[in-house]
């Protein structure tokens, strides 16, 4: 078995190095560098270069591990016992529009479960990390989900549908339910950070559908290890490829799950 406590700071350093690259690139970024992968799925040379940097560093760290990466700059292999799941730039739309919230997300999977997760949020220089059974930290200090038990005291986060509009009606009904019954709902534009902020108690909960494995793999572990609960819209264990996610503190989990299943169904 891999020595996770030893691996963790090394992966944090690699995430920080990629984040530093993103920060310097944003300062001189221009729209001509953007292209479209599909509807509203933006990409640029920056995403790809950051991914190459991560693949090279993580490959040196653990040569036996495979890769599942957003930009596909390396051959994809999730059959290995261990594989890395990488989003080199989560929040690409924020990045290309000059907004300051975006992140690097790295998970190490063992038998298809995240056992190490690191999310580095570049704008605030915050590094969230977790190892299975070893808790979650924010810049090295322990992080925990909030103790809030009531929706009326909760700040929630979500992501608006931007390419799969099949669930929009139920999504709108869910928002309408939450508007008057919570302190508000945020859409900050990076799922990895939504999960990190839930893990450290800034958000009581986060829900979204239409996600990819690299958006959530690290963040799922961050929330679980911080004392929170994670499932998909079906109420299942939220495998990283389940596309929908509900991640909350323990106190509001039941309420959020009930509202989403009532309005969106099993998504």
Interface residues with Ca ion (CB under 5 A) are: 87, 90, 215
Distance CA 100, CA 119 (A): 15
Give the nearest distance from C-beta 103 to ligand IPD in angstroms: 9
For 60, the token pair is 């040196």
Q: Name the residue whose CB lies closest to ligand IPD.
A: 159
Pick from 210, 213, 219, 267: which binds ligand IPD (CB under 6 A)? 210
For 116, the token pair is 């190490």
Collapsed DSSP state (helix, strand, coil) of residue 167? coil
For 84, the token pair is 């890395």
For 232, the token pair is 């998909």
Pick from 26, 49, 73, 92: which binds ligand IPD (CB under 6 A)? 92
Q: Which of residues 62-81 bind ligand IPD (CB under 6 A)?
A: 70
Give the nearest distance from C-beta 124 to Ca ion in angstroms: 18
Q: Name the residue whose CB lies closest to Ca ion.
A: 90
Q: Which of residues 141-160 bind ligand IPD (CB under 6 A)?
A: 159
Q: In what order do the strands lie in the sheet with 82-90?
A: 66-69, 82-90, 103-110, 113-121, 126-131, 136-138, 141-143
Residue 255 interaction partner, one of Ca ion, ligand IPD, none, beta carbon < 5-8 Å per kind: none
Q: Which is nearer to ligand IPD, 5 or 160 (CB)?
A: 160
Four-residue CA torsion sign, 22, 142, 130, 234: negative
Question: By CB under 6 A, is residue 11 in contact with ligand IPD?
Answer: no
166 and 37 Cβ atoms separated by less than 8 Å = no
The DSSP H or E segment spanning 42 is strand 41-44
Give the nearest distance from C-beta 232 to ligand IPD in angstroms: 14
Give the nearest distance from C-beta 19 to ligand IPD in angstroms: 14
User: Which DSSP state fits 252?
Assistant: T
List interacting residues with ligand IPD (CB under 6 A): 70, 87, 90-93, 159, 189-191, 208, 210-211, 215
């Amino acid at each position: 078995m891999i020595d996770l406590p030893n691996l963790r700071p090394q992966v944090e350093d690699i995430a920080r190095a990629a984040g530093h690259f993103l920060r310097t690139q944003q300062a001189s970024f221009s729209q001509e560098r953007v292209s479209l992968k599909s509807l509203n799925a933006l990409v640029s040379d920056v995403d790809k270069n950051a991914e190459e940097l991560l693949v090279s560093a993580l490959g040196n760290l653990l040569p036996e591990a495979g890769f599942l990466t957003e930009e596909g700059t390396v051959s994809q292999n999730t059959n290995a016992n261990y594989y890395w799941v990488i989003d080199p730039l989560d929040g690409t739309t924020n990045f290309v529009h000059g907004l300051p919230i975006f992140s690097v997300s790295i998970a190490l999977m063992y038998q298809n479960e995240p056992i190490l997760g690191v999310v580095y949020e570049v704008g605030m220089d915050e590094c969230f990390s977790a190892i299975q059974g070893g808790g979650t930290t924010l810049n090295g200090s322990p992080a925990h989900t909030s103790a809030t038990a009531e929706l009326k005291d909760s700040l929630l986060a979500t992501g608006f549908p931007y390419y799969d509009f099949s669930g929009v009606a139920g999504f709108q009904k869910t928002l309408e339910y939450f508007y008057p019954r919570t302190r508000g709902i945020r859409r900050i534009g990076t799922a990895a950070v939504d999960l990190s902020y839930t893990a450290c108690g800034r958000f009581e909960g986060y829900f979204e559908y239409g996600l990819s494995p690299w958006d959530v793999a690290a963040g799922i572990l961050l929330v679980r290890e911080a004392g929170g609960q994670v499932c998909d819209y079906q109420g299942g264990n939220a495998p990283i490829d389940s596309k929908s996610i509900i991640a909350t503190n323990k106190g509001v989990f039941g309420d959020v799950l009930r509202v989403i299943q009532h309005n969106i169904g099993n998504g």
